[in-house]
């Protein structure tokens, strides 16, 4: 493991995340909101730190709320989205603010869209640290991982084989 990644994991008290990587919840709003889609009330906003080491990835998953990703430190991150209804996959590179490239400092994944991420290979930057904010707030009841033997995985294998290693 990259020595700086280990330092960040320890300093921020990050724990393993089910989708891969390391995380810690930073904030959970005391204010509650009622999602328009009929889910029970949720915290208005939640935020986490999320770290991925180079060579690891955040597996395909979806959240039923909008999720804003903000690059904080380390290598740029390829943030993949797959709209299964339209069968369109797109990638957004997140990294330090750079007006001369296509790298963005932040990006929002809309509610219900499949997402996965992996750090880009950059010398001396063996990890990526981001912050993720979810509104209405994150709840594991609103989170699903792509099942390796499910229909979505079959479509990824068939139509987007280069992204199958993110399942």
Among the CATH numbers 2.60.120.10, 3.40.50.300, 3.20.20.70, 1.10.1740.10, which is that of 3-166? 2.60.120.10
Give the HSE-up count for residue 100: Cα atoms under 13 Å, Cβ half-sphere: 0
Domain limits, the chain:
3-166
Which tens digit of pLDDT belongs to each residue from 35-58?
Answer: 999 999 999 999 999 999 999 999
Please report the pLDDT score of residue 11 as a whole number: 97
SS (H, E, C) the chain: CCHHHHHHHHHCCCEECCCCCEEEEEEECCCEECCCCCCCCEECCEEEEEEEECCCCEEEEEECCEEEEEEEEECCEEEEEEECCCCEEEEEEECCCCCCCCCECEEEECCCCEEEEEECCECCECEEEEEEEEECCCCHHHEEECCCCCHHHHHHHHHCHHHHHHC
Whether the per-residue pLDDT at 100 is higher than 90: the answer is no
22: nearest Cα among 55, 45, 50, 47: 50
Supply the pTM of this predicted model: 0.93
Question: Which of 101-105, 111-115, 122-126 holds the top average pLDDT?
Answer: 111-115
Cβ atoms of 82 and 133 closer than 8 Å: no
What tokens appear for 75 in the block? 């290598």
Please report the pLDDT score of residue 158 as a whole number: 96
Q: What is the mean pLDDT of the chain?
A: 95
Which tens digit of pLDDT belongs to each residue from 11-41?
Answer: 999 999 999 999 999 999 999 999 999 999 9
Whether the per-residue pLDDT at 104 is higher than 90: the answer is yes
């Amino acid at each position: 493991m990259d020595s700086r990644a280990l330092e960040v994991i320890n300093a921020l008290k990050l724990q393993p995340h089910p989708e891969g990587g390391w995380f810690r919840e930073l904030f959970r709003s005391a204010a509650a909101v009622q999602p328009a889609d009929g889910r029970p009330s949720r915290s208005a906003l939640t935020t986490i730190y999320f770290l991925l080491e180079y060579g690891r990835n955040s597996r395909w998953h979806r959240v039923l709320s909008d999720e804003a990703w903000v690059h904080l430190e380390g290598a740029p991150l390829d943030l993949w989205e797959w709209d299964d209804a339209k069968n369109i996959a797109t990638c957004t590179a997140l990294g330090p603010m750079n007006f001369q490239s296509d790298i963005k400092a932040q990006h929002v994944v809309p509610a219900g869209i499949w997402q996965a991420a992996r750090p880009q290979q950059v010398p001396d930057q063996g990890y990526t640290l981001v912050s993720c904010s979810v509104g209405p707030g994150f709840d594991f009841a609103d989170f699903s991982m792509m099942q390796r033997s499910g229909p979505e995985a079959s479509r990824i294998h068939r139509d987007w084989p280069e992204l199958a290693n993110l399942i």
